[in-house]
Structure 1
Amino acid sequence: MRTTDLSELAAFDAVARHRSFRRAGEERGVTASAISHAVSNLEARIGLRLLNRTTRSVSLTDAGAMLLSRLSPAFGDIGSAVDGLNQFRDTPFGKVRINAPNSIAPFVLGPVLGPLIKANPNLELEIIATDRLVDIVEDGFDAGIRLGESLRDGMTAVRIKPRLRFSVVGSPAYFEQHPIPRTPSELQGHVCIRNLYPSGVPYAWEFKHGGRTIEFNPSGPIATDDHELMVQAALAGTGLACVWENRAEREIADGRLVRCLEPWCAPEDWLHLYYPTRKYLSAGLRAVIQALRA
């Protein structure tokens, strides 16, 4: 097999993992047509069809599935061997792709990005922030960030900082017209900005105090999945917002928002950075973990 065939095998491996020529091209930094051409050349050379292609989907043939099962650990070994060269460099080298929820990414990654790159100038970070639930393997990420440890099998989770919590906030103008609630039950008489998952499904505000857990389903004229928009609506005096405390800390500090129900707002579960257990741990990802670890 010619040396150039290795790039064709790598192209097939990427398409097989992503089930997409476009995503495979994005991972390898080339066009989808270049990936398709490489895979077609490979199939012509070995005389077997490896992928079933339609206008909407890509799937593996039996031959393709067998080849992928042998290639995946082999490419893992190659990646590990290449990454092992980092011991001869002063700092880690290469790209690390991370997926993180948009609503918390600034608080988790923002404080560490500058020091991390300064300490590792050859490291390249690619961060995709979205509150949509993402399959990090299918979408080609090295790691993801998520609340709690509700992860599928085959994932390793590392606890990271900071530990976040929600806060209920309103503007001074709003509280001129409404009393500050002291318990969650008193929210019944208030206008609230409703929280939505990215799917559009609303979720309850959860409170904990003295061993009690209370869920409150807010009502009000505005519903959104964007915490920044919730803060802006609260600043305008529209109603109360339940947002990540970090997102409203400047407005709370300068008095533009007033925090309420503070004894009932307990810290959330710890954040975790997670990655496939069987994936070799690159020096770059190890540096990210070290910077984020709680």
Structure 2
Amino acid sequence: MQRTDPYKGLYEFMAVAETLNFRQAAKRLGVSAPAVGKAIKLLERRLDIDLFHRTTRQVKLTDAGAILLARLSSATVEIHSAFESLSELRAQPSGNLRVCVHSIGLDDFTKPALVIFRQKYPDISLDVVVRDGAVDLLKGGFDLGIRIGELLVDLDMKAVKLFGPVSWCVVASPRYLEAFGVPTSPYELSDHRAIRFRPTSDADPYNWEFRNGAERLTISPPAPVVTNDQSLMLFLAEHDQGLAYTTQSRAREQLAAGVLVEVLCDFMPPDDSIFVHFHKSARRHQKVACFIDTLKDFGRQPKQGAQ
């Protein structure tokens, strides 16, 4: 009697579950979409349960599919760890490193550190994705994430401080302030125009955080303009379109040139820091450890004008 491979169809399942698209899954695996669909059908038949809801417009995980994906994601990390521990017997670190970086983390910190890392470890190739908003590192296939703050929602994830401080500010052009007045309190923002940042098209715009003594304030100012591009946000602020909430490192050149002016300085929240996030088992990988150590060493160096 021929034995059934218990892992048959799992690669196809993971690819479809992560992309929610049979064509994209097929492209990732290097096979045809019908072949992926057939593998999923055989897997569902073998398990005697549906793993996906399929319509002509979309693919969604069933409850059973979501449970299987969660269990397999953790198992996949351990399998990759086992294989990579073999390759790491080589003296020179190598392999591909996938990194997801928050756009703010690129300003004064990650960009120059990446150059140093590539010079030091030329056999490690980098796949760097700049993405704001919440990111599931495991589901996205990332080895590391670089973001503001150390908030963790998964007990299996770790965070290590890399850089800081990251100082926040509210800026506007002198002409805007001349026309609308200078706000003296966050509560006055309801009488102003804001240019607000939205990390993704389906996310809400970020609220503006302030501190009034021991009191934390969260303000959602009226915004005639919302964007997911920090550069555009500052460009519009320079051209008198409203107030923008950003970091001092982002606005440094405009502030130095006088085209933007800081307001509400006495109400800004405490400084943040940039952290690297990774699965607890990933630190065992030589390439991950080298990357973290390189960024930590760079973070200890004094940065001229960094905020």
Shorter chain as normaliser: what TM range?
0.7 to 0.9
| 8 Å Cα contact 1:22-1:31 kept in structure 2 | no
Between the aligned partners of 2:77 and 2:191, the Cα distance in structure 1 is 60
Give the percent of matched residue pairs that are identical in Structure 1 and Structure 2.
24
Between the aligned partners of 1:17 and 1:222, the Cα distance in structure 2 is 35
Q: CA shift at 1:233, angstroms? A: 0.8
Q: Does 1:139 align with 2:140?
A: yes
5+ long unaligned stretches in structure 1: none
In the other structure, the counterpart of 1:246 is: 249
| Alignment TM-score, normalising by the size of structure 2 | 0.71
- 1:109-258 paired onto structure 2 within 5 Å: 109-148=110-149, 149-198=151-200, 199-258=202-261
Between the aligned partners of 1:206 and 1:9, the Cα distance in structure 2 is 47
| 8 Å Cα contact 1:80-1:282 kept in structure 2 | no
CA displacement 1:73-94 (0-9 Å, x = unmatched) = 598366445445445334x201
| Alignment TM-score, normalising by the size of structure 1 | 0.74
| 8 Å Cα contact 1:13-1:72 kept in structure 2 | no
| 8 Å Cα contact 2:84-2:285 kept in structure 1 | no
Between the aligned partners of 2:119 and 2:234, the Cα distance in structure 1 is 32
Aligned residues: 283
Pairwise CA RMSD: 4.1
Query: Which residue identity lines up with residue 226 of structure 2 in the other structure?
Result: A
- Secondary structure of 1:134's counterpart equals coil
| 8 Å Cα contact 2:169-2:265 kept in structure 1 | yes
Between the aligned partners of 2:233 and 2:11, the Cα distance in structure 1 is 44
- 1:259-278 paired onto structure 2 within 5 Å: 259-278=262-281
Between the aligned partners of 2:211 and 2:90, the Cα distance in structure 1 is 51
- Secondary structure of 1:163's counterpart equals strand
Between the aligned partners of 2:103 and 2:239, the Cα distance in structure 1 is 23
| 8 Å Cα contact 1:19-1:57 kept in structure 2 | no
- Secondary structure of 1:180's counterpart equals coil
Between the aligned partners of 2:77 and 2:190, the Cα distance in structure 1 is 58
5+ long unaligned stretches in structure 2: 300-307
